[in-house]
Amino acid sequence: AQKVTQAQTEISVVEKEDVTLDCVYETRDTTYYLFWYKQPPSGELVFLIRRNSFDEQNEISGRYSWNFQKSTSSFNFTITASQVVDSAVYFCARVNNNAGNMLTFGGGTRLMVKP
Amino acid sequence: DAGITQSPRHKVTETGTPVTLRCHQTENHRYMYWYRQDPGHGLRLIHYSYGVKDTDKGEVSDGYSVSRSKTEDFLLTLESATSSQTSVYFCATQGALTDTQYFGPGTRLTVL
């Protein structure tokens, strides 16, 4: 199976610190999509970003930024100046093109931002 | 977000009883998915559908069946629930022209 690995199971930071969540994936596909989802304590899954493997430009959205490195099969997520509301579990995922576009998820990283 | 609802949101049942979870969407999305979420495993695909009456197995399909008789509804059935099926179940949908899955609010199922 082509895995997605989020090696950090839990990260704890103090508010205003920057934090990077790591994601490494395996794929045999030439083209593919990668995703990040956020799961706050309320439990829903919130879509954050989709990245096409053709596009290696880094993306920034407010305090969030994503670093896609195809050469190292990594898709890392950085939160700048973290806030308590960023506390959540964050999942990285990859589309499996050969199985109905199912998503293969990493195990998730629990981020705790303390005031 | 796609308008996705799941029912029930919480259910407690006993081992051996049948259980059906419902996912309803209002976006006319072609693809629908059922995932389960367990600690340490992220989310894993149970079954998916690529159209009315068209379904296929995911990576953890044993003990589950699905049906899709209408575009908007995707049912997940546990024929005889077991304690190992205690989990949070998420439904997701994806349109034919998009590449993003959107998730419902989840159903927490406890099998005693």
Three-state DSSP string of A7-43: CCCEEEEECCCCEEECCEECCCCCCCEEEEEEECCCC
Among B54, B37, B20, residue whose Cα is nearest residue B90: B37
Residues of chain B in contact with residue A25, where contact means CB-CB under 8 angstroms, are none
Sign of the C-alpha dihedral computed for residues A107, A113, B4 and B5 taken in this order: positive
Alpha-carbon gap: A72 to the closest alpha carbon of chain B (Å): 22
d(CA B87, CA A95): 23
Question: Is pLDDT of A99 > 80?
Answer: no
pLDDT digits (tens, 9 = 90+) for A56-97: 788 888 999 999 998 999 999 999 999 999 999 999 999 877
Looking at the complex, does the CB of residue A54 fall below 8 Å from at least one CB of chain B?
Answer: no
In whole angstroms, what is the distance from residue A94 CA to residue A89 CA?
17
What residue in A sits closest to B88 (Cα-Cα)? A43
- Which DSSP helix (H) or strand (E) runs through B32? strand B31-38
Q: What string of pLDDT tens digits covers the 112 residues of chain B?
A: 559 999 999 999 999 999 999 999 999 999 999 999 998 778 999 999 999 999 999 999 999 999 999 999 999 999 999 999 999 999 999 987 778 999 999 999 999 9
Number of neighbouring beta carbons within 10 Å of residue A31: 10
**DSSP assignment of B46-96:** EEEEEETTEEEE-TT-TTEEEEEEETTEEEEEESS--GGG-EEEEEEEE-T
Whole-number Å distance between alpha carbons of B37 and B42: 6
Letter for the amino acid at A50? R
